Amino acid sequence: MTRSKDSIYANPLDGIEAFKFDAKVATFFPDMIQRSLPGYQAIIAAIGLLAGRFARSNSICHHLDCSLGAAALSMLRLNAPNCRIIAVDHSAAMISRFHERLQKDAPNANVEIRCVDIRDQKRSTLKNILIPETFKTHLNRLLKAGFNSADVWLQYFNFASILALK
């Protein structure tokens, strides 16, 4: 995927609108995430390795808040037969771009892309999109959802990645 240079906030704005993951952000997301999260490519590669380590035949791997699907695409390297990946994001623009990318890079992949707000709540400003919650809250939510275990496998400042197993 070609990476367009993000310049959305390069010039002063008359007013500040609520941040949203729209088509403009979807276009520049690869550049935004690379600049916002040091080691992003290593994280994506590690997610693929973890999926390969834990997935078994007929496993279902979920990529929640998938954006443009980088981790889901990394999981495609699984060696387990008949695995399915379900990628979920609340942004129609992100899902659309991910679908285009999937059709181009892996048209026969067993990936189901869903546009769903997994939190099922209205979001109107950035602070309501990125709601700060404790690790304990996230881990308990995953356990209540039926996972046998859930742990933080990576944390880099305010970014964390959680591995949950059934």
pLDDT at 10: 59
Residue 66 near residue 112, CB atoms below 8 Å? no
In angstroms, the CA 112 to CA 94 distance is 14
pLDDT at 99: 95
Give me the mean pLDDT over the 60-75 stretch: 93
The pTM score is 0.71
Q: In terms of pLDDT, which residue wins out, 66 or 125?
A: 66
Give me the mean pLDDT over the 1-17 stretch: 61
Check whether 3 has a pLDDT greater than 70.
no
Question: For 23-125, which CATH class?
Answer: alpha beta
How is residue 103 annotated by DSSP?
A: H
Q: Are strands 84-89 and 60-64 parallel, antiparallel or unpaired?
A: parallel
CATH 3.40.50.150 residue ranges for the chain? 23-125
Q: pLDDT averaged over the chain?
A: 83
In angstroms, the CA 4 to CA 102 distance is 18
Print burial letters for 77-103: b (CB count within 10 Å at least 16), e (below 16): ebeeeebebbbbbbbebbbebbbebbe
pLDDT at 22: 81
